C-alpha cells in the first residue's frame, strides 16, 4: 500500500514507452472501399466526409495510393447499376465487385482483398437476401437466401478475392459458403464472417454510402439486439464451427466487451469500426469539439486492448499516416 506502492513510477516519461502493453501496426488495419458502377469519378459520400464512392476506372489508382501509405488490406462493397428482388447483379461474373477484385489483383497483387458478401446493395427492397411472407409480415427468408449467398461467394472467389466476408447474418451462411467453395475447388479462399453483428443504428451513414437502405421493416429479425451478449457469443461460436477462419464483432466501440469474450474462442478476431463511429468522430472533430487524431488513435488502441487482431476502419489511411509520424 501507499507510500510503498506508487503506480506513477511506471508512468515516468522514460520508462513509459517500454511498458506499453498493446501496439497498433499498419498490418492491423483494413480499409473499407465503395465501388460504384454508376459513378464517373470519385464521388464524395455526404454522410461520411472524406470517404468516396469510386468508379471502376479509379479503383486501381485508389488502392495503389493506399498501398503507398502502407495499407495492406481492403474490404470491398459494390453498388450496382441495376437492382432487382433477386439481387441478380450480385453474382454476375462481370459485376462491379468481381471486376473491382480483378483490377485490384492486377494493379496491386500484394494487397489482401476481402469482399463483403451480402445482397442488400443489390436488391431493390434493400434486404440482405430473398424476402417473403413470414409469420409477422414480409421478412428475410433464411433458407431460400442461402443459395444466393453461396452463389455470390463463388463468383467473388472466381474473381480472385482472398477472403469472403458474409455480412447477412443468415443462419447457416458460413456452412453453405464453405461447402460451395470447397465444391468449386476454392480450398484456399478464406471466410471472415461478420459473426457477431448487432442491429445497430450506427450503420446509418453506410446505408447512404452503399445505397443499401431497406424499403420496409428493419434488420432486427436477423441482426442481434444490442443488449444481448450470450446470444452474441453463440453467434460467433456457431460460425467458428461452420468453418469461419476469422470472426468479427460489429460495431466496434460500444461492443468491445464482446471482442474480449469472442477472442477466447481461439480464432482471429476482427472488429469493425462502422460508419456511424466514423461519422461521430468526424462531426465532433470538424466542429472543433474533439481532437480527431487523438480520438481516432485512442479508439484503435482500445480495440487492440480488447483483443482485436484486425480493425476495419474508414480511418485506416489517416491512421497509417499518423503511425509514420510517431516513428
* 97 belongs to the binding site for Zn ion (CB under 5 A): no
Nearest alpha carbon to residue 273 among 316, 231, 230: 316
Active-site residue, 105 included? no
For the CB of residue 123, give the shortest distance to ligand PBG in the complex, in Å: 11
For the CB of residue 2, give the shortest distance to ligand PBG in the complex, in Å: 46
Active-site residue, 83 included? no
Q: Which residue, 147 or 324, has its beta carbon nearer to ligand PBG?
A: 147
CA distance 186 to 195: 21
Q: Which residues bind ligand PBG (CB under 6 A)?
A: 116, 118, 120, 128, 167-168, 203, 206-207, 212, 219, 274-275
Q: Which stretch binds Zn ion (CB under 5 A): 82-90, 93-101, 118-126, 222-230?
A: 118-126
Q: Which residue, 22 or 225, has its beta carbon nearer to ligand PBG?
A: 225
CA distance 297 to 292: 9
For the CB of residue 96, give the shortest distance to ligand PBG in the complex, in Å: 15
* 153 belongs to the binding site for Zn ion (CB under 5 A): no
Q: Which residue is nearest to ligand PBG (CB)?
A: 206
* 128 belongs to the binding site for Zn ion (CB under 5 A): yes
Nearest alpha carbon to residue 75 among 259, 238, 275: 275
Provide DSSP, 138-153.
Answer: EEE-HHHHHHHHHHHH
CA distance 317 to 296: 12
CA distance 263 to 215: 36
Q: Which residue, 36 or 116, has its beta carbon nearer to ligand PBG?
A: 116
Query: How far, rounded to the nearest angstrom, does the alpha carbon of residue 170 sit from its chain's CA centroid?
Result: 16
Query: How far, rounded to the nearest angstrom, does the alpha carbon of residue 172 sit from its chain's CA centroid?
Result: 19
The set of catalytic residues is: 197, 250
Which residues of the chain form contacts with Zn ion (CB under 5 A)? Answer: 118, 120, 128
Amino acid at each position: 500500500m501507499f507510500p510503498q506502492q506508487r503506480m506513477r513510477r511506471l508512468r515516468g516519461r522514460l520508462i513509459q514507452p517500454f511498458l506499453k502493453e498493446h501496439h497498433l501496426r499498419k498490418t492491423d488495419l483494413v480499409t473499407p472501399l465503395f465501388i460504384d458502377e454508376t459513378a464517373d469519378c470519385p464521388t464524395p459520400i455526404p454522410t461520411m466526409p472524406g470517404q468516396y464512392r469510386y468508379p471502376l476506372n479509379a479503383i486501381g489508382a485508389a488502392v495503389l495510393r493506399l498501398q503507398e501509405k502502407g495499407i495492406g488490406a481492403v474490404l470491398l462493397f459494390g453498388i450496382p447499376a441495376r437492382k432487382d428482388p433477386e439481387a441478380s447483379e450480385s453474382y454476375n461474373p462481370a459485376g462491379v465487385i468481381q471486376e473491382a477484385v480483378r483490377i485490384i489483383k492486377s494493379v496491386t497483387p500484394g494487397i489482401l482483398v476481402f469482399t463483403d458478401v451480402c445482397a442488400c446493395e443489390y436488391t431493390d427492397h434493400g434486404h440482405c437476401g430473398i424476402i417473403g411472407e413470414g409469420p409477422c409480415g414480409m421478412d428475410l427468408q433464411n433458407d431460400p437466401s442461402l443459395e444466393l449467398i453461396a452463389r455470390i461467394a463463388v463468383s467473388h472467389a472466381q474473381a480472385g478475392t482472398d477472403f469472403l466476408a458474409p455480412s447477412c447474418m443468415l443462419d447457416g451462411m458460413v456452412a453453405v459458403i464453405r461447402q460451395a467453395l470447397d465444391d468449386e475447388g476454392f480450398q484456399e479462399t478464406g471466410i471472415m464472417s461478420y459473426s457477431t453483428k448487432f442491429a445497430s443504428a450506427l450503420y446509418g451513414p453506410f446505408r447512404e454510402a452503399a445505397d443499401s437502405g431497406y424499403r420496409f421493416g428493419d434488420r432486427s429479425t436477423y441482426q442481434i439486439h444490442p443488449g444481448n451478449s450470450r446470444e452474441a457469443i453463440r453467434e460467433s461460436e456457431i460460425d467458428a464451427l461452420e468453418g469461419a477462419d476469422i470472426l468479427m464483432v460489429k460495431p466496434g466501440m460500444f461492443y468491445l466487451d464482446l471482442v474480449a469474450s469472442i477472442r477466447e474462442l481461439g480464432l482471429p478476431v476482427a472488429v469493425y469500426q462502422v460508419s456511424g463511429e466514423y461519422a461521430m468522430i468526424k462531426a465532433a472533430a470538424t466542429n472543433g469539439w474533439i481532437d480527431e487524431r487523438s480520438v481516432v488513435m485512442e479508439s484503435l488502441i482500445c480495440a487492440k486492448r480488447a483483443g482485436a487482431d484486425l480493425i476495419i476502419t474508414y480511418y485506416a489511411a489517416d491512421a497509417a499516416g499518423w503511425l509514420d509520424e510517431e516513428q
